[in-house]
Structure 1
Amino acid sequence: MAGFYHVCFVVPDMAAAIRDLGTAAGVEFSAPRVDRIGEWDFRIAFTRGEPPYVELIEPAPGGPWDVSEGPRFDHLGFWTRSVEDGSRRLAAEGFLEEFSGCPYGRSFAYHRVDSIGARIELVDLARQPAFLAAWNPGGAPMPPMPPTPPVEPAPPGT
């Protein structure tokens, strides 16, 4: 599954999630980091080691990672050569964009896949060196999703 590199859970209590998932699955997490996108603060952590990674996000109220109904599986993350092209393709296939980080200077987008009750995140491959530097220094580069054919507009009258 080229391009796939992480699974994400949004959680209201980062420390509890790190403790419990570490105990249950035997994984170790990097220290959580504080970040902000737009007006939303959040904490983020990834498992240590090689992909696929487990990502945990502990958001403040509101924003793209609502946890008002409790913790949940949120998305599968994929590297892509073009967030714009990938988003166009997913939208044309009926997977609507729910949130884009692009207006905030972050080249990623979430698309809803109702049949799995979660989202697909497309992340621009240009962000990978910074990701590796932050979360897996010295880690090997990861491949992007294979190129997809351009989306053809529907013929008039259809």
Structure 2
Amino acid sequence: MTAFYHVCFVVPQLEPAMRDFTLAAGVQWCEPRTHRLGDWDYRLTFTRGDAPFIELIEGPVGSPWDASGGPRFDHLGFWTTSLTEGAARLERRGFPEEFSGCPYGRAFAYHRMDSVGARVELLDLALQPGFLETWNPGGSPMPAIDETAFGERG
């Protein structure tokens, strides 16, 4: 079962993208953070407030968030109650896995949606409390899990 909670753009630099989103849409941002996955150091931030969030990622060349070709819409993010089952369901429906964080100890996976030139990201629901503590302290609860998303029921 899944629940939509963010849209992500990869960008060459966070600060200009944050500025432009603020000017265009009036959003406010959390302080950017630096993370490491494998050999890649990357920066990211989320909008303040409640879901759905906007995520911006500044990643190095060759990483899953490589923006050397310019900024782009990258993915829609969904919480899932089972990463294994959700990933298998997307594979069966023709959305191949493009990258998995699991070999790096991170419970997420990207699946290609070629019809829109972007990805679907599935994140294990067990990560949600840490996400909320980091990016949305004191905010509203996340959306309920949707049993109909990705044809999970019926």
Same-fold call, TM cutoff 0.5: yes
Partner letter of residue 48 of structure 1? R
Deviations 1:53-104 (A, max 9, x none): 0000000121111212100000000010011100001001110000001111
The equivalent residue for 1:37 is 37
Contact 1:79/1:145 (8 A) holds in 2: no
SS in 2 for 1:3: strand
SS in 2 for 1:130: helix
Q: Distance in 1 between matches of 2:147 and 2:57?
A: 27
Counterparts of 1:24-103 in structure 2 under 5 Å? 24-103=24-103
Q: Distance in 2 between matches of 1:79 and 1:145?
A: 10
How far does residue 25 in structure 1 lie from its aligned partner after superposition? 0.6
Partner letter of residue 97 of structure 2? E
Structure 2 regions of 5+ residues with no counterpart?
Answer: none
Q: Distance in 1 between matches of 2:105 and 2:23?
A: 36
Partner letter of residue 78 of structure 2? F
SS in 2 for 1:138: coil
Aligned residues: percent identity? 61
TM-score, normalised to structure 1, is: 0.90
Q: Distance in 1 between matches of 2:51 and 2:33?
A: 19
SS in 2 for 1:19: helix
Deviations 1:122-144 (A, max 9, x none): 01000000000000012233223
The equivalent residue for 1:155 is none
Partner letter of residue 120 of structure 1? V
How far does residue 120 in structure 1 lie from its aligned partner after superposition? 0.3
Q: Distance in 2 between matches of 1:82 and 1:144?
A: 12
SS in 2 for 1:24: helix
Structure 1 regions of 5+ residues with no counterpart?
Answer: 150-158
Partner letter of residue 111 of structure 1? H
1:146 aligns with 2:135: no
1:128 aligns with 2:131: no
Structure 1 runs, 4 residues or longer, greater than 3 Å off: none
**Structure with greater Cα Rg:** 1
1:15 aligns with 2:31: no
Q: CA RMSD in A?
A: 1.2
